[in-house]
């Protein structure tokens, strides 16, 4: 993909112009020489157009507004989070984004616009790319990637906003002014998503052709998710078993390996690719900065990659999540592979009297009667997530070019466990969930319940962007948010989300700016 990274802008521009009737408007080739004619009439152009979809999909994570709070909204709005400070925490406490009129809701447009833009570009590739004269299997593989992105984008929009519309026609000069007057039916939405993913599964290979490219495993995993949303549990189980049983994909032997390096390994199903200081390598993000406490501000400590690098402590593990991770003392996910709970003195120039290098930092007490002391504990020592930590980056850097895990096989195991449980196949479901626990050195569980599935989902997939969807799909978002959101162990932080969350918030409101572009009777989600 490297050779095409720089073509993001021209690829997107070409797709916008694409139409069978566009040629009469194009009397000259652009100075770059990459015209719509080139994109839709040559094998190289079609490949570039598909690469543009990857760049556009990555652009969702590159919105740096408010310390990258916007692309991290779903991670903030769950039952696992203590929103301590900073912009992202305002979403976790529902101070932003809870009503149609408030300031934060306008930023939901980032979801709406980005994924509809991907859909529009995919529509153009799918429609016009079919006529390109080239090797048929290669063309089908490229079209399969475009159809994956269309399905994936519609699926995300449906899960977020519910009241969405679908179209398979690209924007052209002839239809650009058409007004969408009504939402699409759930049946039509899922029909298109499934058709696209079935096509992708048919024409993509299990083997990864290039890091970051979607594969048959990616499409199969997402189709299993779709089946769960449709409550087609047998299909979800069968599809999950396809991924689990494939030669190309497997759980890694230890949790310590999962988030190290580029993340391009056998457990990965879809990874957003970055490369530091490289043209087209992506805008560095601050996700690790959001999730790690400011331990380096403690006298006697400095930021170090072995402890995750630099953090701001905006979004931290709340009491509920910390307790889940501590239920089994042998569970190694909280011991530095996924989450970090212990920090060490490592700065000899500021080391406090009576401490030595390597001692555990115990300067602050979360249960102290002194409010300032408790504040400093949460700012500097509260457990954090290090799934986005860059072990090869500069430890003091706020921005990091760390690849981002979107889907991985551990989630496929959890899909299989949930589907088996819903089918009454508890022994089979336990096999899948205990494979994850055994890998983490945690003791196997003996009973499969909704609670045990939710708990393991939290431990394994916390802060990876799937929790909000899981709570909504299982119908427990209101229950979980009103019981666990925020932090209350010592009363230091107000658990605003617990009192503010209402049932209708399982759907995000469609921002007013988007409603203004739709028909006057287009339905807003209930409750807003």
Q: How many CB atoms lie within 10 A of CB 62?
A: 16
pLDDT at 18: 39
Averaged over 112-131, what is the pLDDT?
97
Position 409 in a domain: no
> Domain check: are 175 and 49 in the same one?
yes
Position 52 in a domain: yes
Position 467 in a domain: no
Position 212 in a domain: no
pLDDT at 163: 98
486 falls in which pLDDT band (50, 70, 90)?
Answer: confident
User: Of the candidates 352, 386, 402, which is a domain's last residue?
Assistant: 402
Q: How many CB atoms lie within 10 A of CB 232?
A: 17
In this predicted model, what pLDDT tens digit does every residue of 503-527 receive, in sequence order? 999 999 999 999 999 999 999 999 9
In this predicted model, what pLDDT tens digit does every residue of 331-372 receive, in sequence order? 999 999 999 999 999 999 999 999 999 999 999 999 888 888
> Domain check: are 59 and 168 in the same one?
yes
In this predicted model, what pLDDT tens digit does every residue of 446-461 receive, in sequence order? 999 999 999 999 999 9
Q: Mean pLDDT across the chain, nearest whole number?
A: 92
pLDDT at 37: 74
> Domain check: are 199 and 314 in the same one?
no
Distance CA 310, CA 503 (A): 37
pLDDT at 14: 38
Cβ contacts of 84 within 8 Å, gap of 6 or more? 313, 314, 315, 316, 378, 379, 382, 493
Position 519 in a domain: yes
In this predicted model, what pLDDT tens digit does every residue of 272-299 receive, in sequence order? 999 998 888 999 999 999 999 999 999 9
Pair 353, 317: CB distance under 8 Å? no
Distance CA 38, CA 23 (A): 11
Percent over 90 (pLDDT), the chain: 86
pLDDT at 492: 65
pLDDT at 232: 98
pLDDT at 405: 98
Is the pLDDT at 1 greater than 50, yes or no?
no
> Domain check: are 192 and 326 in the same one?
no
Between helix 216-229 and helix 409-422 the angle, nearest 10°, is 30
Strand, helix or coil for residue 405: strand
pLDDT at 277: 85
Position 411 in a domain: no
| HEC sequence for 279-343 | CCCCCCECHHHHHCCCHHHCCCCCCCHHHCCCCCCCEEECHHHHHHHHCCCCCHHHCCCCEECCC
pLDDT at 489: 66
Position 214 in a domain: no
> Domain check: are 143 and 47 in the same one?
yes
Residue 263 Ramachandran class (φ > 0 left, ψ -120 to 50 alpha, else beta): left
User: Of the candidates 371, 402, 433, which is a domain's last residue?
Assistant: 402
pLDDT at 25: 30
User: Of the candidates 402, 432, 454, which is a domain's last residue?
Assistant: 402
Is the pLDDT at 17 greater than 70, yes or no?
no
> Domain check: are 197 and 300 in the same one?
no
Averaged over 17-36, what is the pLDDT?
40
pLDDT at 199: 98
In this predicted model, what pLDDT tens digit does every residue of 192-219 receive, in sequence order? 999 999 999 999 999 988 999 999 999 9
Q: Which domain holds residue 319?
A: 286-402
Is the pLDDT at 33 greater than 70, yes or no?
no
Is the pLDDT at 154 greater than 90, yes or no?
yes
Is the pLDDT at 24 greater than 80, yes or no?
no
In this predicted model, what pLDDT tens digit does every residue of 56-75 receive, in sequence order? 999 999 999 999 999 999 99
In this predicted model, what pLDDT tens digit does every residue of 462-485 receive, in sequence order? 999 999 999 999 999 999 999 999
Cα–Cα distance list, 256 to 114, 147, 245, 339 (Å): 33, 34, 23, 10
**Residue with token string 């549990």:** 233
Q: 457 or 1: which carries more pLDDT confidence?
A: 457
Is the pLDDT at 3 greater than 90, yes or no?
no
> Domain check: are 63 and 165 in the same one?
yes
In this predicted model, what pLDDT tens digit does every residue of 375-407 receive, in sequence order? 999 999 999 999 999 999 999 999 999 999 999
**Residue with token string 């209402």:** 502
> Domain check: are 200 and 107 in the same one?
yes
Q: What CATH number corresponds to the domain at position 163? A: 1.25.40.890
Cβ contacts of 28 within 8 Å, gap of 6 or more? none
> Domain check: are 54 and 172 in the same one?
yes
> Domain check: are 330 and 197 in the same one?
no
pTM over 0.75: yes
Position 60 in a domain: yes
The number of folded domains in the chain is 2
Distance CA 92, CA 138 (A): 44
pLDDT at 31: 36
In this predicted model, what pLDDT tens digit does every residue of 309-335 receive, in sequence order? 999 999 999 999 999 999 999 999 999
Listed residue (70, 1, 75, 47) closest to 405, CA to CA: 75
35 falls in which pLDDT band (50, 70, 90)?
Answer: low
pLDDT at 371: 86
């Amino acid at each position: 993909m490297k050779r095409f990274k720089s073509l993001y802008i021209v690829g997107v521009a070409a797709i916008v112009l694409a139409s069978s009737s566009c040629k009469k408007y194009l009397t000259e080739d652009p100075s770059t020489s990459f015209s719509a004619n080139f994109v839709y009439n040559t094998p190289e152009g079609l490949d570039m157009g598909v690469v543009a979809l990857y760049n556009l999909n990555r652009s969702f994570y590159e919105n740096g507004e408010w310390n990258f709070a916007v692309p991290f909204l779903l991670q903030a709005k769950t039952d696992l989070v203590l929103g301590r400070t900073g912009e992202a925490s305002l979403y976790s406490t529902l101070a932003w984004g809870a009503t149609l009129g408030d300031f934060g809701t306008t930023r939901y447009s980032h979801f709406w616009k980005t994924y509809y833009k991907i859909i529009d570009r995919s529509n153009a590739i799918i429609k016009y790319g079919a006529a390109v004269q080239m090797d048929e299997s290669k063309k089908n593989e490229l079209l399969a990637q475009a159809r994956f992105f269309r399905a994936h984008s519609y699926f995300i929009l449906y899960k977020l906003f519910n009241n969405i519309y679908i179209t398979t026609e690209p924007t052209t000069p002839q239809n650009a002014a058409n007004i969408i007057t009504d939402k699409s039916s759930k049946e039509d939405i899922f029909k298109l998503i499934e058709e696209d993913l079935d096509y992708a599964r048919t024409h993509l290979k299990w083997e990864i052709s290039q890091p970051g490219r979607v594969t048959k495993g990616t499409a199969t995993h997402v189709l299993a998710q779709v089946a769960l949303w449709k409550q087609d549990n047998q299909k979800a189980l069968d599809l999950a078993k396809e991924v689990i049983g494939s030669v190309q994909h497997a759980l890694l032997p230890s949790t310590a390996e999962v988030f190290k390096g580029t993340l391009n390994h056998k457990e990965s199903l879809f990874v957003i690719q970055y490369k530091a200081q490289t043209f087209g390598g992506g805008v560095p993000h601050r996700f690790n900065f959001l999730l790690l406490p400011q331990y380096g501000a403690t006298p006697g400590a400095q930021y170090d990659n072995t402890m995750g690098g630099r953090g701001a402590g905006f979004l931290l593990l709340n009491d509920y999540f910390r307790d889940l991770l501590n239920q089994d003392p042998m569970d190694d996910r909280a011991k530095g592979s996924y989450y970090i709970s212990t920090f060490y003195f490592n700065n000899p120039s500021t080391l406090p009297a009576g401490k030595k290098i390597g001692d555990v930092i115990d300067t602050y007490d979360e249960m102290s009667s002194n409010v300032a002391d408790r504040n400093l504990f949460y700012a500097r020592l509260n457990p954090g997530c290090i799934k986005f930590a860059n072990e090869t980056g500069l430890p003091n850097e706020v921005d990091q070019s760390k690849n981002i895990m979107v889907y991985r096989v551990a989630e496929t195991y959890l899909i299989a466990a949930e589907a088996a449980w819903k089918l009454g196949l508890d022994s089979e479901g336990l096999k899948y969930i205990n494979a994850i626990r055994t890998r983490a050195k945690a003791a196997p569980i003996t009973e499969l319940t909704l609670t045990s599935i939710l708990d393991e989902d939290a431990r394994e997939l916390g802060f990876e962007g799937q929790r909000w969807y899981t709570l909504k799909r299982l119908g427990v978002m209101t229950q979980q948010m009103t019981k666990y959101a925020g932090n209350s162990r010592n009363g230091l932080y107000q658990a605003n989300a617990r009192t503010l969350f209402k049932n209708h918030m399982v759907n995000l409101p469609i921002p007013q700016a988007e409603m203004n572009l739709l028909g006057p009777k287009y339905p807003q989600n209930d409750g807003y």
